[in-house]
Amino acid sequence: MDKCKFCESSKLVKNGKVRNLQRYRCNECRRSQVCGDSRVKYSNKIKYLALAMYLNSAGFRSIGRVLKVPFQLVHLWVKRAGELVEEEAAKRTDPPREIPIMEMDELYTYIQKKSGKYEYGLLWIGTEMRLLRIM
């Protein structure tokens, strides 16, 4: 290993082994690092498929099994996508339109099975978003 991943310094010293890989410590920033990165990178296509499956009512574990991805990672992708939606919703300044008719038979039937709980969610309608409260 020639340079530090974090500060680009060349003052690295050996600092033991972890998982049979040599670990190095930088004498400038005092951070430890391992030579090479063995983490798996997933394409945007896989992430998009995971989000699409989640929006079609698939569970995290079933998405993970189908796409061969850890379900915790699927949860993280969905959580990050939700944070992005909230940021975009906060940026919007145009006034919301009035919604004349909305059918919610399936949603009502699903929520009715879990009676006694209040559920909230963001509902996309065309190009706008509404906060939905279901009892």
Question: Whole-angstrom Cα distance, residue 71 to residue 65?
Answer: 8
- Kindly report which listed range (27-31, 82-86, 90-94, 130-134) carries the lowest average pLDDT score: 130-134
In 3D space, the residue among 66, 18, 120 whose CA is nearest the CA of residue 135 turns out to be: 120
Question: Is there a single domain that holds both residue 5 and residue 31?
Answer: yes
User: Per the domain annotation, does 116 fall within a domain?
Assistant: yes
29, β-bridge pairs: none
SS3 state at 129: strand
Residue 34, class by beta-carbon neighbours within 10 Å (0-12 exposed, 13-18 middle, 19+ buried)?
Answer: middle
User: Per the domain annotation, does 97 fall within a domain?
Assistant: no
Q: What is the mean pLDDT of residues 14-29?
A: 90
The structure's pTM equals 0.52
SS3 state at 119: strand
Q: What is the pLDDT of residue 36?
A: 76
**Number of compact structural domains in the chain:** 3
For residue range 36-95, list pLDDT tens digits in order. Answer: 767 788 999 999 999 989 988 889 999 999 999 999 999 999 999 888 888 887 887 777
User: Per the domain annotation, does 59 fall within a domain?
Assistant: yes
Question: Is there a single domain that holds both residue 34 and residue 54?
Answer: no
Q: Which domain holds residue 123?
A: 105-134
Quick one: what percent of the chain has pLDDT higher than 70? 70
Question: Is there a single domain that holds both residue 48 and residue 87?
Answer: yes
